[in-house]
């Protein structure tokens, strides 16, 4: 299926998924959703041997298609684990990358080899990051290559049953469960009831959404604005407070599952920006804005795929998104991951 057609189809479906009640299209797709449900139940009944790993695993994911803030959550958790004295590593599928085998993400990697989100995690956290379609194999390779790692955080993978886990963190944004239907009639990869277990905790990244389980509340916030070259070089001295961009005519580019959140946060920060929503994991093989564009503001997930040499006179500003996770949730997850160390 051509990528452009797939992106348009996903955008069409998404407009129907997030309506509180099923729309005409959602109702028309219910027979396919029932077939998907039958196949899902059959898959769940099949035994899958879990890989043995020498360290505990925390899986961060969601039950909906598309992003709900998993990668910023992973970054925040890695930092919290390090602050608690642990040595975390990260595994991910590396959505959109070329190749399916296991690959260790390096600082200078091309996002086409590693995937944009794993490369972002590597740049932000500096911890070992391995990608692979089989997350269990990626985790085993990480442990073999980096024996000092004592805990693994999986960016997505709730449905990857071969990956053992001691704790799961289910992430929701303001969209919640949408219309509550399975794919393709709704956004659900699986019924929420299949995921509930004693090892599961819930995090809301944008306040509680209707119909979702009670959980901890994270706070989303923007960091400073970085010129792209400075962000790539880690030159913090070149970053500027976000408010210094308020008087500039900006174009906001976001290749996210839910780009509207980025645009709304920019507006809340007092910036006036023309929104340019792009397909999730947009590859930037061609720049999506006119060559004469003066200033573009974008996300870190987009920035890892941009090369300053291709931008001409356009200035690109990168705005990191950070999550503040409650200490109580971190302590709860640590108790699940390291029960012998719990008081």
CA 208 – CA 218 distance, rounded (Å): 10
Rg (CA), the chain: 20
CA 186 – CA 197 distance, rounded (Å): 23
Residue 10, classified by CB atoms within 10 Å of its CB into exposed (0-12), middle (13-18) or buried (19+), is middle
Domains observed in the chain: 57-219+324-341 (3.40.50.300), 224-319 (no CATH)
pTM of the model: 0.92
* pLDDT tens, per residue, the chain with 343 residues: 444 555 566 667 777 888 888 999 999 999 999 999 999 999 888 887 777 999 999 999 999 887 788 999 999 999 999 999 999 999 999 887 888 899 999 988 999 899 999 999 999 999 999 999 999 999 999 999 999 999 999 998 888 888 999 999 999 998 899 999 999 999 999 998 878 889 999 999 988 887 899 999 999 999 899 999 999 999 999 999 999 999 899 999 999 988 998 999 999 999 999 999 998 889 999 999 999 999 999 999 999 999 999 999 999 999 999 999 999 999 999 999 999 765 5
Query: What is the C-alpha to C-alpha distance for residues 155 and 117, in angstroms, rounded to an integer?
Result: 9
């Amino acid at each position: 299926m051509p990528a452009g057609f797939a992106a348009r189809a996903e955008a069409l479906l998404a407009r129907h998924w997030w309506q509180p009640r099923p729309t005409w299209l959602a109702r028309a797709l219910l027979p396919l959703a029932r077939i998907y449900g039958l196949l899902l139940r059959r898959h769940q009944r099949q035994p899958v041997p879990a890989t043995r790993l020498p360290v505990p695993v925390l899986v961060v994911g969601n039950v909906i298609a598309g992003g709900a803030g998993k990668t910023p959550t992973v970054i925040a958790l890695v930092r919290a684990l390090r602050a608690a004295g642990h040595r975390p590593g990260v595994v991910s599928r590396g959505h959109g990358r070329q190749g399916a085998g296991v690959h260790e993400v390096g600082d200078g990697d091309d996002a086409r080899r590693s995937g944009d989100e794993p490369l972002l995690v590597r740049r932000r956290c500096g911890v070992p990051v391995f990608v692979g379609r089989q997350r269990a194999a990626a985790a085993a390779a990480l442990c073999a290559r980096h024996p000092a790692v004592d805990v693994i955080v999986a960016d997505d993978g709730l449905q990857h049953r071969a990956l053992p886990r001691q704790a799961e963190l289910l992430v929701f944004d303001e969209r919640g469960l949408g219309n509550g239907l399975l794919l393709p009639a709704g956004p659900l990869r699986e019924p929420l009831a299949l995921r509930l277990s004693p090892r599961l905790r819930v995090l809301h990244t944008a306040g509680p959404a209707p119909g979702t389980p009670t959980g901890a509340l994270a706070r989303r916030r923007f960091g400073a604005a970085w010129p792209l070259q400075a962000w790539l070089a880690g030159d913090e001295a070149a970053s500027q407070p976000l408010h210094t961009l308020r008087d500039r005519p900006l174009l906001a580019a976001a290749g996210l599952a839910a780009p509207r959140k980025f645009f709304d946060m920019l507006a809340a920060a007092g910036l006036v920006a023309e929104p340019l929503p792009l397909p999730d994991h947009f590859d930037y093989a061609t720049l999506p804005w006119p060559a004469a564009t003066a200033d573009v503001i974008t996300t870190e997930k987009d920035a890892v795929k941009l090369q300053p040499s291709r931008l001409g006179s356009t200035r690109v500003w990168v705005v990191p998104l950070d999550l503040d996770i409650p200490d109580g949730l971190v302590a709860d997850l640590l108790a699940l991951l390291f029960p012998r160390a719990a008081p």
